[in-house]
Amino acid sequence: MDIRIINPNTTTSMTALIGRCAQAAAASGTRITAVSPKMGPASIESHYDEALSVPGILEEIRHGERDGADAYVIACFGDPGLYAARELAHGPVIGIAEAAMHMASLIGNSFSVVTTLERTVGMAWHLAERYGMRHACRNVHASDLPVLDLEKPGSNARQIILEACRSALAQDRSDCIVLGCAGMADLCEDLSAELHVPVIDGVVAAVKLVEALVGMRLSTSKRGDWARPLPKPYTGMLAPFALA
């Protein structure tokens, strides 16, 4: 099974980290290809960044389709371009916020999300609402770490996230932690060991969910909202995005 993981930002060191975490968790028959778009923002920390990550994501989906990928993971906690990607792809497409929240709701009565900057808190709540997870999501906590500091030596990222998790569990009386950024994937196991509660990383959760869906021979329904887009003219810089 070929799973393409799209890191929606263009920071390739983060793409590599995501790829390693994904491969480590994948089933033996699963081949992971982690890619970054050829265009767009270096990190996603606003609706502006998120919106402009989408053309690059959709280009990668088209490459994946050309190459025969079986399924896709969109590895940014805002799940950018998820529904558009579903319209394009033959196989299933899962976002990491979606994956993490669903998985968390199966092993805890409630969860807390620990994310990066305060300004992304609203996005996380919108997704919880959209996915039917508002009842399970006790709160969303910002650690005030910029996304790219997660990888920066000396940023003390691990310690800051750990403290944010501890404080979230205490305040929210919640059962588990959802990590709110793909760049935290490599901290997951360690945090869980320290906190003695399940910690859910969306990258791995999404890999396992698409493996499950492909294993069930299920993919996005083409009957309704997510049918293949109608062909039509596209102009300007985006002309190559026109579908046949």
Residues 58-97, interacting with a copy of itself (CB under 8 A): 58, 81, 83-84, 86-88, 92, 94
Residue 225 is a binding residue for a copy of itself (CB under 8 A) = yes
Rounded Cα distance, 68 and 71, in Å = 9
Residue 8 is a binding residue for a copy of itself (CB under 8 A) = no
Do 165 and 195 contact (CB within 8 A), yes or no? Answer: yes
Residue 16 is a binding residue for a copy of itself (CB under 8 A) = no
Any idea what DSSP says for residue 227?
S
Q: Judged by CB under 8 A, how many residues of this single chain contact a copy of itself?
A: 96
Which residue in the set 45, 60, 70, 79 belongs to the binding site for a copy of itself (CB under 8 A)? 45
Residue 198 is a binding residue for a copy of itself (CB under 8 A) = yes
Select the span of 63-71, 131-139, 157-165, 178-186 touching a copy of itself (CB under 8 A): 131-139
| Smallest gap from residue 233 Cβ to a copy of itself (A) | 5
| Smallest gap from residue 4 Cβ to a copy of itself (A) | 17
Which neighbouring-strand residues pair with 33? 4
Which amino acid belongs to residue 117?
L
Which residue in the set 97, 150, 169, 185 belongs to the binding site for a copy of itself (CB under 8 A)? 169
Print burial letters for 90-128: b (CB count within 10 Å at least 16), e (below 16): ebbbbbbbbbbbbbbbeebebbbbbbbeeebbebbbebb
Name the residue nearer to a copy of itself (CB basis): 77 or 226. Answer: 226
By C-alpha distance, which of 143, 153, 162, 189 is closest to 21? 189
Name the residue nearer to a copy of itself (CB basis): 35 or 200. Answer: 200
Name the residue nearer to a copy of itself (CB basis): 17 or 133. Answer: 133
Question: CA 39 → CA 35, 49, 78, 147, distances in Å?
Answer: 12, 11, 18, 18
Which residue in the set 68, 154, 236, 244 belongs to the binding site for a copy of itself (CB under 8 A)? 236
Which residues make Cβ contacts (< 8 Å) with residue 131, sequence separation at least 6? 97, 98, 101, 102
